[in-house]
């Protein structure tokens, strides 16, 4: 098939590289010219395991192309819209990029093309885009479908190539058949391919992300209760997770959920529920718990160093919203760093993948360090904010020797309390009693 993907971000670039790998002829269009130029010479602008290799392979095979001009859409069998849908200030979903794409697509469509909304959009958006395109191109029969994406950053290529399910929302047999064809190899490999109404596909994406957010906020409250009552949240969640009805994923207590999807998608669900006059009390509570957690994490650091943070130096290890990605969007680590700086601490920070983008999102007084050891030298506390495996492998005796005060705050429960205290360090973590 001739596939066009609009947007060369985490979702669009992975979609383009993977569908080219499946043997389709793919062009990926982005309005960011620098991004397109870099991709044309095989430089991937985001970090995703396995993506560099797929992009280079796609370019070498002649099946993957990059463009900034919408002329490249002509003759496409499928056009995926995979641009961002961030939150507006009031939490509503900002659909301006999706609508801008529709406007650019309209003159370049032909009778045969199926337009597929892969961006996460509120119920009704795909139909709205279809109606808009139809009005703009009365000479054509416009075909639209919803195909929400469920990949996880840090495992995006794996998730696209081996998803738990593929969702095709379509009211038009041409659109549905085209997507069934495109995903045929996955279906043959046993992946459930669910064809449904457009509205169900759109809502399933929000419901899934909101459910994950609810799970995380619930576990974080259980962590607080564990800490207060003398229980150990690691044991509590292990016991919960072994129950097949609950499942063990998304039960890791931590500093709160972040990233470009969960916070905005919960907000999006709340707005959609309000629009339709339906209740969303549970999702709203999950967001509230998460918001209040930001301050709790700074309080935790303050308690661990034993007083106000003014004139302390804090080493933050990890800036990305989770390990395995370079994405800093809505990262709890960034919010924590902001709070620590506001409370008067001097902050030194390190991240294995997030450093290039960190400069533009952190307060200018934060010192970005080339390695963890530089960040730790002379600091009053080491705070693990992201669960990068390299931080689990730190030599704790060396850590103790470098720190000015022997204080470790582990917001990801990454370290073994016995090993930390064995190295002469005090240890505060999440949902477990502090250890010295
Ligand atoms: P992103 O910000 O990484 O990438 C968006 C890209 O679109 C950017 O490169 C931008 O330059 C480009 N763009 C913006 N306007 C454009 C236009 N008019 N024409 C062409 N290109 C344009 O976004 P993302 O994280 O890939 O997310 C895309 C969508 O997928 C969102 O709706 C998101 O909610 C959803 N989603 C994201 C993830 C994820 O893990 N990131 C997972 C599932 C679904």
Query: Which regions of the chain carry the CATH code 1.10.1040.10?
Result: 206-286
CATH of 294-428, one of 3.30.70.360, 3.30.70.260, 2.40.128.120, 3.40.50.720: 3.40.50.720
Query: 309 CA to middle of ligand 1, Å?
Result: 38
Give the residue, out of 5, 6, 7, 167, with the most ligand 1 atoms within 8 A of its beta carbon, to mutate for a pocket test: 7
Residue 12: name the closest of 136, 108, 107, 151 by CA.
151
How much distance in Å is there from the Cα of 329 to the middle of ligand 1?
Answer: 12
Q: Is 94 in the pocket of ligand 1 (CB under 6 A)?
A: no
Our CA dihedral for 167, 241, 322, 285, rounded to 10 degrees, sits at 80
Q: Where in the chain is the domain with CATH 3.40.50.720?
A: 2-196, 294-428
Lowest-pLDDT choice from 211-220, 288-297, 421-430: 288-297
The beta-strand segments (E) located in 293-400 are: 313-317, 346-350, 367-368, 381-384
Residues 421-430: contacts with CB under 8 Å, at least 24 apart: 422/396, 423/396, 423/397, 423/399, 424/400, 425/396, 425/399, 425/400, 426/304, 428/300, 428/303, 428/304, 430/220, 430/223, 430/227, 430/233, 430/253, 430/254, 430/255
Ligand 1: which residue has its CA nearest to atom 34? 120
pLDDT of 237-264, one tens digit each? 999 999 999 999 999 999 999 999 999 9
Pocket lining: 273 vs ligand 1, CB cutoff 6 Å: no
How far apart are the C-alpha atoms of 233 and 227, rounded to whole Å? Answer: 8
Q: Report whether residue 28 contacts ligand 1, using a CB cutoff of 6 Å.
A: no
With a 6 A CB cut-off, is 253 part of the ligand 1 pocket?
Answer: no
Residue 104 CA, closest ligand 1 atom number = 18
- Return the SS3 of 229: helix
- The Å distance, Cα 7 to ligand 1 centre, comes to 6
Q: Is 29 in the pocket of ligand 1 (CB under 6 A)?
A: yes
Residue closest via CA to ligand 1's atom 2 equals: 84
pLDDT at 42 over 90: yes
Give the pLDDT band of residue 46 (cuts 50, 70, 90): very high
Q: How far apart are CA 421 and CA 235, in angstroms?
A: 19
pLDDT digits (tens, 9 = 90+) for 344-403: 999 999 999 999 999 999 999 999 999 999 999 999 999 999 999 999 999 999 999 999
* Structural fold of domain 2-196: Rossmann fold (3.40.50)
Q: pTM, whole model, 2 decimals?
A: 0.95
Note if 261 is an active site residue: yes
Comparing CA positions, the residue from 280, 291, 279 lying closest to residue 332 is 291
Distances (CA, A) of 382 to 284, 342, 393: 33, 18, 14
Please give the distance, rounded to the nearest whole angstrom, from the Cα atom of residue 351 to the centre of ligand 1: 23
Tell me the three state secondary structure of residue 27: strand
DSSP conformation letters of 164-193 = S-EEEE-SSHHHHHHHHHHTHHHHHTT--E
CATH of 206-286, one of 3.30.1490.20, 1.20.120.530, 1.10.1040.10, 3.30.70.870: 1.10.1040.10
**Do the beta carbons of residue 351 and residue 318 sit within 8 Å?**
yes
pLDDT at 333: 97
Cα of first residue to Cα of last residue in the chain, in angstroms, is 62
Q: What is the pLDDT of residue 91?
A: 86
Ligand 1 binding pocket includes 7 (Cβ within 6 Å): yes
pLDDT digits (tens, 9 = 90+) for 128-170: 999 999 999 999 999 999 999 999 999 999 999 999 999 999 9
Cα of 82 vs centre of ligand 1, distance in Å, is: 5
CB atoms within 10 A of CB 61: 12
Q: Is the CB of 6 under 6 A from ligand 1?
A: yes
Which two structure tokens, joined as six digits, stand for 352?
């294995």
Ligand 1 in reach of 260 Cβ (< 6 A): yes
């Amino acid at each position: 098939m001739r596939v066009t993907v609009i947007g060369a971000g985490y979702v669009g670039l992975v979609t383009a590289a993977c569908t080219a790998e499946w043997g389709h002829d793919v062009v990926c269009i982005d309005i960011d010219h620098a991004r397109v130029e870099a991709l044309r010479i095989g430089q991937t602008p985001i970090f995703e395991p396995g993506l560099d290799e797929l992009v280079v392979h796609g370019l070498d095979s002649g099946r993957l192309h990059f463009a900034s001009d919408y002329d490249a859409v002509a003759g496409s069998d499928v056009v995926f819209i995979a641009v961002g849908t961030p939150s507006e200030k009031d939490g509503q979903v900002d659909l301006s990029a999706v609508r801008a794409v529709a406007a650019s697509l309209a003159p370049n469509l032909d009778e045969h093309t199926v337009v597929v909304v892969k961006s996460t959009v509120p119920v009704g958006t795909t139909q709205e885009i279809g109606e808009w395109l139809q009005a703009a191109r009365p000479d054509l029969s416009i075909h639209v479908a919803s195909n929400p994406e469920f990949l996880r950053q840090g495992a995006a290529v794996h998730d696209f190539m081996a998803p738990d399910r593929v969702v095709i929302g379509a009211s038009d047999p041409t659109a549905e058949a085209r997507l069934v064809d495109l995903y045929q190899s996955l279906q043959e490999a046993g992946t459930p391919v669910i064809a449904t109404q457009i509205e169900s596909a759109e809502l399933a994406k929000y419901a899934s992300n909101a459910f994950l957010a609810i799970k995380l906020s619930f576990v974080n409250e259980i962590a607080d209760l564990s800490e207060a009552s003398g229980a150990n949240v690691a044991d509590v969640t292990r016991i919960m997770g072994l129950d097949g009805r609950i499942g063990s994923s998304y039960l890791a207590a931590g500093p709160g959920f972040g990233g470009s999807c969960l916070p905005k998608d919960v907000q999006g669900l709340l707005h959609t529920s309000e629009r339709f006059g339906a209740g969303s009390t549970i999702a709203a509570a999950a967001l509230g718990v998460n918001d209040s957690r930001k301050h709790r994490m700074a309080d935790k650091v303050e308690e661990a160093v034993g007083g106000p943070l003014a004139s302390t130096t804090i080493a933050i290890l990890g800036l990305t919203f989770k390990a395995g990605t370079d994405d800093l969007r809505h990262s709890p680590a960034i919010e924590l760093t902001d709070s620590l700086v506001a409370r008067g601490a001097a902050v030194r920070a390190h991240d294995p993948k997030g450093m290039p983008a960190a400069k533009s999102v952190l307060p200018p007084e934060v010192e970005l360090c080339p390695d963890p050891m530089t960040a730790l030298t002379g600091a009053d506390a080491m705070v693990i904010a992201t669960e990068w495996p390299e931080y689990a492998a730190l030599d704790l005796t060396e850590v103790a020797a470098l720190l000015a005060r022997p204080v470790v705050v582990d917001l990801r429960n990454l370290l073994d309390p016995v090993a930390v205290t064995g190295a002469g360090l005090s240890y505060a973590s999440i949902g477990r009693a502090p250890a010295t």
